[in-house]
Structure 1
Amino acid sequence: MRVSVVVPNYNKERTLRDCLSAVYAQTAPPAEVIVVDDASTDRSRQIAADFPCTVLAFPVNRGVSAARNAGAGRATGEVLFFVDSDIALAPGALAAAVGTLEAYPDCGVVQGIYDLRPLYDDGPVEAYKTLFEHFWRRRATGLTTTTMFALTAVPRAVFEQVGGFDERLRDAEDVEFGTRLPQRYTIRVSDEMVGRHDDVDRLRPYLSELFRRAVTYAGAVVATRWERPAAGSGGRSGDPSDGPGRTPHRVDLGSVVGMVSSGLTVGTAPLVLLSPWLAALPVALVGAAVVADRELLAFALRHRGPRFLLYAAGLRWLTHLTEFVGMGLGVSGALLRRARAAGSRQVTVESRR
């Protein structure tokens, strides 16, 4: 299989050279490498020019969905391998992707995992984020239901059938892509496809990223659970032969418990002012969040020690709280838009009478 590597990039001069060097050092070299520069203002384009890759340069910033679509549109390979420009692949990543697609003909998406070590170690926030991403992705090895496109391979025919990424989305676009993947295709995670990621390393940007993704995810993915396909219709790709549309990925009960517990902890904390005995309620809720994350926290303890465990537990609770607020706002917004749309349809019907 000929593999086209697509690298979306925006202001990643720090990591782009590492990313491209790793791509060209693969044990199974790609047929072509396409860098889509999304109107960077740093030295990204000069760095890409040092490599024998094709560079597509956007005059204005359009977002990662548009960048990936543009790269896929230019590619000629049978397999599209998407890798973000802040990731350095392990040497066998491309070979592992092709091997998985050949071993499982029904596989529509195969995605890799992050190394436990970040590309650059920039402090505890990044250490936590990298550890969490490694744990979560490795645990999903094998068949899964969620699509994540940081380092992911897709047969070109499947990508075209799905219709690419929704260019209106700048967050959660990869998860939304999976909701349009026909049911007959499987999604797999391979722990042989590994990349070292230079992740967010400051608290405010980390929480802002979480919040944006939660709001977008709630509106673009959670809300689809309320949509009922028309009778006799096919999948979300529009082809009746696809069968029923793919249900958005299953709910992670532990994450739901963690988010709800964190949100209710804040909501019930003022009850302590009424009676000291009521402090037991927020304490119990914190305990519920810890129990929900016990596997992750045990993993943090094994790999980073007890001091980091305390830090990870606190940051995990703050993560849940941020996602709780973002999801709440996202779902509320989706419900409001749905109500407005229903009202508009009702007005239209009445005006025709």
Structure 2
Amino acid sequence: MTGAPRVSVIIPTYNKAKTLAECVRSVYRQTCQPVEVVVVDDASTDGSREIAAGLPCQLVCLPTNRGVSAARNAGASVATGEVLFFVDSDIALAPDAIGNALRVLAAHPECGVVQGIYAAEPFAADGPVEVYKTLFEHYWRRQRAGVADSTLFALTAIRREAFDAVGGFDERLRDSEDIEFGTRLPRRYQIRMSAQVVGRHDDVDRLGPFLAEHVRRAVSYGALLAGTTLGARRRSPHRPHAPGRSDGTDRPGRGFDVAAAAAMLCCTAALVTLPLALVDRWLLVLPGVFGAAFLVVDRGLLRFVWRRKGNRFLVYFVGMHFVMHTTQLAGMAAGFAATALRSGRRAPASTGRADR
């Protein structure tokens, strides 16, 4: 691409020996080549560091495991490109991913962040749990193509000036760190989701780890939502002041997705009202109504799954989606409540100091 900005690809990794080599190879198969590939090993214990040492990349090794926020910041600190392209080490990029991200940036000078979507097929299909999650993530991101209101950094290009304006990732966060990053992005930088920036993702493939990861992220997101709602956003510890934060130009945190919130409420209401059938069997109508409402709210997604995988997998998908929505709402409520309680305990002390 003539006159294209210099791109630095940053790959944070922790115990991804299975996918790291293919991730790096996919970068070097790009139609638009980066000027450098920086792999940041976050103290892996599975041989990932040794694999990275044998690949054509610049390797940064963290002495202790500090989380993805610290790994991304470490990669950005040594990168030299005008555009930073972050890609997780369990993703294999489509050959035109970087080129398409640069085209979006060129077509929209006001755009500071271009984030991609997962392909409908996983990196390696290791079971129905992974297929469920991959299909859902693909559909969810594809539906949100265009101008977005929050940042996701699994496969994302960002102008260096925009990254520096934010001040990097909050290194205290190990989940929802990319969403929190977006709350500090100055409003002058537009965020876009592009369905042309694609990567195949190797996702969690067992039910137990899937639910544990899902609930942990839901709790973190609920806490972040409470913090932004209650005006208790924290300042990043790795930089005392991030440009763009003190002048009121940083954007608010992401609110609820209305359709997702409705689906979560319908699933939870169906579960909560089900025991009423022990009182009177006619009360089974209530969970039935809420279950039907859930199917209506998510009908676009369910049609997409049916077209790709057929009736049998659709039944499995509906069950998994019901579980996902219910646990997500519970996790978010727990995170929100815990943060609100902590904020409430701090409020009297703060008020007293202000009065004096």
TM-score by length of 1: 0.94
1:228–1:34 CA distance, 2 compared to 1 (3 A): closer
Q: Is the 8 A contact 2:184 2:245 kept in 1?
A: no
Query: 1:204 matched to which residue of 2?
Result: 208
1:250 Cα shift? 4.3
Give the whole-Å Cα distance in 2 for the aligned partners of 1:222 and 1:298: 34
For residues 1-353 of structure 1, the aligned pairs below 5 Å read: 1-227=5-231, 237-240=244-247, 243-348=248-353, 352=356
Please tell me the root mean square deviation across aligned C-alpha atoms, in Å: 1.8
Q: Is the 8 A contact 2:224 2:336 kept in 1?
A: no
1:156–1:349 CA distance, 2 compared to 1 (3 A): closer
Q: Which moved more, 1:149-158 or 1:245-254?
A: 245-254
Give the whole-Å Cα distance in 1 for the aligned partners of 2:79 and 2:232: 35
Query: 1:232 matched to which residue of 2?
Result: none
Give the whole-Å Cα distance in 2 for the aligned partners of 1:251 and 1:329: 16
Q: Is the 8 A contact 1:181 1:236 kept in 2?
A: no
Q: Is the 8 A contact 1:254 1:292 kept in 2?
A: yes
Give the whole-Å Cα distance in 2 for the aligned partners of 1:193 and 1:122: 24
1:239–1:313 CA distance, 2 compared to 1 (3 A): same
Give the whole-Å Cα distance in 2 for the aligned partners of 1:143 and 1:154: 14
Give the whole-Å Cα distance in 2 for the aligned partners of 1:305 and 1:288: 22
Q: Is the 8 A contact 2:232 2:343 kept in 1?
A: no
Aligned residue pairs total 345
User: Which one-letter code corresponds to 2:305 in the other structure?
Assistant: A
Q: Deviations over 1:4-62 (max 9, x none)?
A: 00000000000001100101111111101110101100111111112221111111110
User: Which one-letter code corresponds to 2:299 in the other structure?
Assistant: R
1:349–1:93 CA distance, 2 compared to 1 (3 A): closer
1:150 Cα shift? 0.4
SS in structure 1 of the partner of residue 265 of structure 2: helix
SS in structure 1 of the partner of residue 153 of structure 2: coil
SS in structure 2 of the partner of residue 256 of structure 1: helix
SS in structure 1 of the partner of residue 304 of structure 2: helix
Query: 2:236 matched to which residue of 1?
Result: none
Q: Is the 8 A contact 2:226 2:339 kept in 1?
A: no
Give the whole-Å Cα distance in 2 for the aligned partners of 1:346 and 1:173: 30
Q: Is the 8 A contact 2:225 2:255 kept in 1?
A: no
Give the whole-Å Cα distance in 2 for the aligned partners of 1:132 and 1:222: 26
TM-score by length of 2: 0.93
User: Which one-letter code corresponds to 1:238 in the other structure?
Assistant: R
Report runs of 4+ in structure 1 exceeding 3 Å deviation: 346-350
SS in structure 1 of the partner of residue 32 of structure 2: coil
Give the whole-Å Cα distance in 2 for the aligned partners of 1:340 and 1:100: 46
1:347 Cα shift? 4.6
Give the whole-Å Cα distance in 1 for the aligned partners of 2:52 and 2:45: 14
Q: Deviations over 1:307-332 (max 9, x none)?
A: 11101101000000110110110110
